[in-house]
Structure 1
C-alpha cells in the first residue's frame, strides 16, 4: 500500500472539479437535502473502473469515543465514497468497529461548499459575520504582532486558549500546538475542568480517593442486572459501549434505564424504564438506600471491612452524633425518614417502583449501576455522582467482577499516546473553563472562591483569545447572551483568532478567521475511549483545496515571525510529529509491542487485547497492602473533608438537596417546565451540524409530553417558543410520551440562529441555560434550567 496521493492530471476529474460538481448539488447547511454522487454522474462506469482506487482504513479525530473504522475510497486525490469494516476484517476478540451514521457521512462534511476557503479579517462589528479575504502572510503577521503586543502591554497571562473539542480525539492538534507556541513566548492563562464529566471527576475522590473508578466492559459479560442511570450510549455512541451491552442483552442481562426521557438506549435495551424529574436523582438514591438498610439488604461484612461513616459506630473521631448515613436515612437528626413515599413527592417515581428498584439492585449479585455524564451536568451533579458511589458501596458492588463502583470512569477510558513535547508554562494560575467570561469582562471577579487556583488574583483580563476547532464561545457556552455581551465589546478581548471548517456561530465573533483542514487533509493518530482499546492511523488522504491550511502549518509561520520557528517545530513537519509521537509512545509502552511507524502505515491500527480491569479490585482483595487513597484508607461514605468545607450544596453524605432551578425552586411557579438536552446520534456536540445528510437523520425539535402540550394548546408540529429570563428559542414541537410530564427536551449542539430580536430559531438550548458554577468542581451546570413553552 502506497502512502502517496496520486494527483495525475489526466484522470478526467480533478479535486477542484469534484468540489464544484458537488457544490452545485448541495444545500445550505441548515436544510437537509439528499446529495447525488457527482463522480458517478459525470463519467461512465467503464471510465470509473479504469481509474485507480485506494481503499484506506482511517478514522476521524473529532471528540468522539468510537474512532470507528471507516474506509475512504480515494481516486485521483478525491474521496469518492466511504465504506466501513468488512466482515472479513472482524476480530472476534475485539468490539465491532464499524462506522456509525456520523462516520458514514464524513464525505458530505468535508466536501460541503460552505466550508471556509481563505483566511479572512473581520470588517463589520463582532458577531455580524462580515469578513474580507486577506493573504496568509497578512494573517500570520497579525497573529504574531498581537501576541507580542498583548504580552508586552498586559503580560502573557492575558492570552487564553479556549476549549476546542473537534480535534481532541487525536494525538496531535492545533489547540495543543498553539499552547506549545505560547509556552515558548512567555506562557498563557491556563484552564481546568472538563465540560463533559468534570463534576464527576471532582466528586468521586471524596469517596474512593481517586476519580479512576471505571471497569472495562468485558468484566460485565455475566452481570445479571445493569442499571443505566442517565446513560445513553445508543445515541451518544460512547466508545464501543453499545457493542458490549447488546451482547449482554442477548445473553440475558436485565437492563433498567433511569432517565426522564425514553431514549433510544431505553428503546433498544431496557426491560424497565424509570423516568424521574431532573436534579432529583439523590432523592431517589436516598430512598433506595433507606429500603436497602431498613430491609436489612445491605452488605454488612463489606461495609464493616472497607468503609467509614455508614453508622454511628464507624464515624471519624470528633464528628458530632447523628451525622452517619444511617442516621440521615432514618431521620434521626432532621426528623424526616427518607422513605420511598418521601422520595415519590420529589422525584415523581412511584414509591412501589422505588422499593422494587432498591430490592432488585441489592439482592442481585453482582449488579452494576452505571451513571452517564448527563446527570452530573446539573448544579447538583457532584452530589448525584457521589450518590452512585454510596449505593455501590453499601451493596458490596465495588471491586467485584460484574459490579460497578459508580462515579467517574464510565468505560475505563485511558490515554495511550504521549502527545507532542510540551514546554512548561511559566504562568501557573488557572481558571475553570466556566470562568472565562468573567476573566474577559473583569478579572477581579475571578477569585479562589469562584474557581481561580494557584493565585489570589488574576494579573490581567483576557485580551487575546484562540478558538481552534471549537464552537464553545457563542454556541456551547452556557448562557450565550451573557457571553456575547463580552465578546461584542471590543474593549474587552482585543483580538480573537478562530480556526474552523465552517462559519460557526462562534466563528462569527472572530477578528481573524482561518480555514482549517479536515481530518482527511492532515496526519494524526486516533484513540478510542474505552474497552475497545486500539490506536488507528488517521492518514492525510487528500490535499487541502483553496487556501486551507492545518493549524500547525500556519503556526510554524507565526513562530518564524516571532523568531522561534526552530524551537517550536523542532524541524518536523506534521507527519514527522506524528511519527515522533508514535515512537515516544512505543518507548513508553514496551510491553504492548507497538509496530514501528513504517509498519503502522501498512497495518493501519494497533489493538490492545489487555486484561480485563476491575476498579479497586486490589483494594478489596488485599486492603492491608492496598488501602484506598483516602485520608482514612477506606471507602468514605462520610467524607470528613467535605464536612469541614461546611458547604450546604456538597454535604458530607452527598444526600438530596433541592437544586437551583430544580422543581422545588420558587422560580418554577413562573417557569414550570424543566428543560434537558441529550447528545444525538447525528453529531458530536455541534460538530457536523452543517452536514445535510445528518440533518436528515434527526431534526431539531422540542419534545413535550401530551399532558403538558394539551395545557398549552400545542399540537404535533406546531412552532413553539421555549423561554425563560435568559432567552428564547423557537422550534417545532414533538408531542410524545417519550418525555415525562413536567420535562421538555431538545438535542444538544444545534447552531444558534438568532433573528433581529435575538430569538433563536436553531433550537440552541444554550440561550436558555445558566452559567452558574457547581460548588465543588467550579464546573458547568447547564442542564439545570427552568422554562415555559408557548405556542408561537
Structure 2
C-alpha cells in the first residue's frame, strides 16, 4: 500500500523480546501446574468469561461475496456483539438435524465465511468518514463528519458535471462488499448506477473482469448467459473435463464438491486441462493434461478435427439444433462464407487443424489430444466444463466459443450429465428489490472497464475502439469521456484491474488538474488498497449491519434471509442510505428512493423491510414459494426442491423450444457477428470472426518476446481470498503465503530453491514474493494468485506480490480481460517480501512441502 522502510523500527517491541516473554510465561504456567499451590482450576475455554451457547442469541444470515456461492452463516451473538459463527446443520428449513440430501443439501460456509468475524472487527475496518490530507496514495486522512463529507462530495459532483459534461464521473461499482437483493453494488443493476444516471453524469464500465470473454461467447452462441446446469447435474456425468477449472478453490455453486463426489462414487472419470496440477485434480484422481496458457482454443480445434475425422460427431444433433457447424447447417443468406468445419479442415486457409498442428501450439502431445477427443465423444453423458480462467486471456472468447462448438458437435448439450457452460448461470433468482425502472442503467458513455486509465492518460486523442465505447445512436455516440472522477463502490478495482502502474499514473494525472478538478470516492467497509488513493473514504455497513436477502451466486436454488444482526459499527451507513441522502442534496431524492423520506439516512429499517416484503411477494407469485414473509424471517433460509435437476437448454432439445439466438439455434456461425460491417462503431472495436478460431495472443510461450521474458504467468483465484477480500484475515493467512509457484526444472536452472525470495518482472512492473518449487506446475509457467494487497516501495516495486502490476490493459475485442496473457522473467532477489501482515501471523506453508 504505502511505501515504508525495510529496517526494523527501533521503538517497536522486537520479535525476540516477544518470544522471550512467551517462553517465560510458559515456564511459569508449567511450574504452577506441577507445583500445585495456588494453581487455578482448569477450564474448558482458553480464557474467561466465554459465553456458552445457551447464553447466546442465534441468528441466520449468510456470506456476501462472489466466491462461488453465498452460503449460510449462523451468527451467535451476545448483546450487540457476534461471538462466533457457525453454518447450516440441516435444521433451518424445519428438517431434522443433519439433513443433507441430494435434493436439499446443506449450504455450508467455507473457511472464508467462517472467518468473517475477523473482517467485521478488523483493524482495517473503516468506521468514520475520512478526507485525504496527504499526498495522493500516501494514506494520510483525517476524520470528518457525514455532513461535511456529503456536502463536499455533492458540491464537487455538480462542478465536475457542469464543467466537464455528463461523462465526467466513472461508475466502478462491483459486487465486492454490498451484493444483495436490496443493497446492491453491481456494474449494471446497482445502486451507484441508478444514482449517477439520475444525476445525469455517468460513464459506466461494461465489461466484467472475471468472465467477459465467456459472456460474449454464451450470448453469441446460445443467446443467453443462463447456459449452466445446477450442480446436482454433475452427479449424473460419466466424464467431467475440468478445463481450467479448480472447483476446490472456485466452485460455481453452493455444493459443487458434494455432487462431484457423488459422480466419482458412481464411476465418473475426471480430466484436468490446466498448466498446473490442482488440488481438484488430486481429489478426483484426474488425468492431468498440462497445456501452455492461452492456447486452449488450438487444442479444442485439434479435438474437433479428430472427432470429425473418426466420424464420432453427432450429426443428427448438429442438423437439428446447430447453425454453421458445417456447410449443411449454414444459413441461406451466408452463401460463400466459412463454416466451422471448413475452418477446422483448412479449406479456406490451407491449414488443417489436426492434433499435430495443435500440439505444436499448445504443447500437448497429439496422441493425448486424440485420446481426450475420443473419450469425450464416446462417453455419454460427458461434461466439458469450460471454465472462465482460460477466457481471461487475449481473445479468450475464442476459447469459450471453441468449447461450445465441441460441446455441440458431440450432442452433450441439454442432456442430464452433459454441459453447455460457459458462463454457467443456472436457476433464475429474483435479483432486485429496490426500484428497477427506466433510471436503473442510465449512462452517457460506456467503456471497457480496464480502459479508463488509457482514456485519462491520452484524452482527447483516443479512438473509440481503444476505449471500447458502446454505441448510443445519439449526439454522444463515439464521444470520448472526459473522465474527472471515480466512485469505487464495493470494488477494490485499483488493486484488481490490469496494469496497475498505468492506473496509478492516470490517478496522478487527475491529481495534476488542481484542487477541486477531480474526485475519487471509495465506499467500503474496509480500508482497501484502492481507498488509499481516494479523496474521501465513506464507511459502509457490512451485511451483518443492515437488512437484506442473500441470493445464490450463479448456481444454487435458495434464498437466505439476512437480518440486521448487529447495529452498524462506528458511523457506518449502507450504500442505499448514502446515495439517498446525496440524491436529496442534488434534488432527486424522492425519485431515487420512492419509499423513503428525508429521515432515511438515520432511520432506514422500516423502508428496507418494505422493499424486501414487496420482493418476497414477487417471489411467491413467480416461483411458488409457500411461506409468508414472517416465516421466511423466522426460518432464515428457503431451499427450493426442484422437480428434476435443472439442465440448461433441456427444453430446447426435448421440446423444440427455440434458442434465444437470431436463428433460434445454437450459433457456431454467429448471425450477429457475420452481419457487422463497421467494427469501429461497435463496442468491440475490432473484427471478431463469425466462427470460433484460434487467434494468436500478443504474448505467449510461442511468442518472440520469450527471448526477453521466458515465463508465462497465470494468476488464478486463491482459496483463501475472494479476489482481494479476506487478504487481511489472520486465520486465513495462517494457511498460505502469497508465493510464486515454479517448476522444479526451471528453478534448478536458475539456482532457485524452495522458499527463496524471487522477483517477477516485465516491461510493465515488478513484484516480489517467496517461491514454491514443485512438479505440479509445467515448465515455462509460473503461477501467482491474484488479489494480494499492493505494497509499493520507493522504487515502485510491489513487495506484496500482486500480479496485476505485470498484466496488460490492451483491448481484447470481445471484452476479455487478459489477466493470464502475461510474459515475465524471474530471478532470485535480495529484496524483502512484505505480505501486508505481521510475519508471525503468516504461515510458513513451504515448511511442510518438499524442498525441490
Tell me, yes or no, whether TM beats 0.5.
yes
Contact 2:126 2:525 in 1 (8 A): yes
Contact 2:231 2:556 in 1 (8 A): no
Which of 596, 605, 612 is equivalent to 1:582? Answer: 612
Shift of 1:321: 5.6
Contact 1:465 1:495 in 2 (8 A): yes
Shift of 1:50: 10
Once residues 290 and 667 of structure 2 are traced to their aligned partners in structure 1, the CA distance between those partners, rounded to angstroms, is 29
SS of structure 1 residue aligned to 2:606: helix
In structure 2, the CA distance between the partners of 1:43 and 1:221, relative to structure 1 (3 Å rule), is: closer
Q: Which residue of 2 aligns with 1:13?
A: none
SS of structure 1 residue aligned to 2:478: coil
Question: 2:450 aligned with 1:438, yes or no?
Answer: no
Shift of 1:49: 5.0
Contact 1:73 1:81 in 2 (8 A): yes
Question: 2:57 aligned with 1:54, yes or no?
Answer: yes
Contact 1:340 1:354 in 2 (8 A): yes
Shift of 1:437: 2.1
Which of 515, 531, 535 is equivalent to 2:539? Answer: 515
Once residues 428 and 463 of structure 2 are traced to their aligned partners in structure 1, the CA distance between those partners, rounded to angstroms, is 32
SS of structure 1 residue aligned to 2:325: coil
Question: 2:625 aligned with 1:593, yes or no?
Answer: yes
Shift of 1:371: 1.1
Once residues 482 and 765 of structure 1 are traced to their aligned partners in structure 2, the CA distance between those partners, rounded to angstroms, is 14
Which of 176, 187, 193 is equivalent to 2:207? Answer: 193
Shift of 1:755: 0.6
Once residues 140 and 49 of structure 2 are traced to their aligned partners in structure 1, the CA distance between those partners, rounded to angstroms, is 42
SS of structure 2 residue aligned to 1:166: coil
Once residues 477 and 178 of structure 2 are traced to their aligned partners in structure 1, the CA distance between those partners, rounded to angstroms, is 31
In structure 2, the CA distance between the partners of 1:186 and 1:640, relative to structure 1 (3 Å rule), is: closer
Which of 714, 719, 724 is equivalent to 1:676? Answer: 714
In structure 2, the CA distance between the partners of 1:211 and 1:549, relative to structure 1 (3 Å rule), is: closer
Shift of 1:467: 0.8
Q: Which residue of 2 aligns with 1:298?
A: 313
Q: Which residue of 2 aligns with 1:124?
A: 134
In structure 2, the CA distance between the partners of 1:488 and 1:174, relative to structure 1 (3 Å rule), is: farther
In structure 2, the CA distance between the partners of 1:44 and 1:120, relative to structure 1 (3 Å rule), is: closer
Question: 2:486 aligned with 1:465, yes or no?
Answer: yes
Question: 2:558 aligned with 1:541, yes or no?
Answer: no
Contact 2:243 2:384 in 1 (8 A): yes
SS of structure 1 residue aligned to 2:698: coil
In structure 2, the CA distance between the partners of 1:353 and 1:547, relative to structure 1 (3 Å rule), is: same
Question: 2:586 aligned with 1:562, yes or no?
Answer: yes
Contact 1:237 1:681 in 2 (8 A): no
Contact 1:95 1:244 in 2 (8 A): no
Matches within 5 A, 1:106-121: 106-121=116-131
Shift of 1:530: 4.4
In structure 2, the CA distance between the partners of 1:715 and 1:464, relative to structure 1 (3 Å rule), is: same
Which of 73, 76, 81 is equivalent to 1:73? Answer: 76
Which of 90, 93, 96 is equivalent to 2:99? Answer: 90
Q: Which residue of 2 aligns with 1:282?
A: 297
Matches within 5 A, 1:185-584: 185-240=199-254, 241-317=256-332, 323-408=338-423, 410=424, 412=426, 414-422=428-436, 424-425=438-439, 427-441=443-457, 442=459, 445=462, 447=464, 450-453=467-470, 454=472, 455-458=476-479, 460-473=481-494, 475-489=495-509, 490-491=511-512, 494-569=518-593, 570-571=595-596, 573-584=603-614
Shift of 1:418: 2.3
Q: Which residue of 2 aligns with 1:726?
A: 764
Question: 2:755 aligned with 1:717, yes or no?
Answer: yes
Q: Which residue of 2 aligns with 1:785?
A: 822
The unaligned stretches of length 5 or more in structure 1 are: 1-23, 28-33
Once residues 385 and 240 of structure 2 are traced to their aligned partners in structure 1, the CA distance between those partners, rounded to angstroms, is 7
Once residues 549 and 636 of structure 1 are traced to their aligned partners in structure 2, the CA distance between those partners, rounded to angstroms, is 47
Q: Which residue of 1 aligns with 2:94?
A: none
In structure 2, the CA distance between the partners of 1:394 and 1:555, relative to structure 1 (3 Å rule), is: closer
Q: Which residue of 1 aligns with 2:636?
A: 604
Deviations 1:189-220 (A, max 9, x none): 22312212121111223323333322223233
Shift of 1:332: 3.0
In structure 2, the CA distance between the partners of 1:99 and 1:641, relative to structure 1 (3 Å rule), is: closer
Contact 2:548 2:612 in 1 (8 A): no
Q: Which residue of 1 aligns with 2:647?
A: 614
Calculate the TM-score normalised by the size of structure 1: 0.89
Deviates more, 1:483-492 or 1:439-448: 439-448
Contact 2:445 2:481 in 1 (8 A): no
Once residues 193 and 413 of structure 1 are traced to their aligned partners in structure 2, the CA distance between those partners, rounded to angstroms, is 23
SS of structure 1 residue aligned to 2:734: helix
Contact 1:315 1:324 in 2 (8 A): yes
Once residues 574 and 363 of structure 2 are traced to their aligned partners in structure 1, the CA distance between those partners, rounded to angstroms, is 51
Deviates more, 1:324-333 or 1:132-141: 324-333
Q: Which residue of 1 aligns with 2:179?
A: 169
Contact 2:209 2:497 in 1 (8 A): no
Once residues 169 and 276 of structure 1 are traced to their aligned partners in structure 2, the CA distance between those partners, rounded to angstroms, is 35
In structure 2, the CA distance between the partners of 1:577 and 1:183, relative to structure 1 (3 Å rule), is: farther
Q: Which residue of 2 aligns with 1:687?
A: 725
In structure 2, the CA distance between the partners of 1:649 and 1:283, relative to structure 1 (3 Å rule), is: farther
Q: Which residue of 1 aligns with 2:739?
A: 701
Q: Which residue of 2 aligns with 1:19?
A: none
Shift of 1:502: 2.8
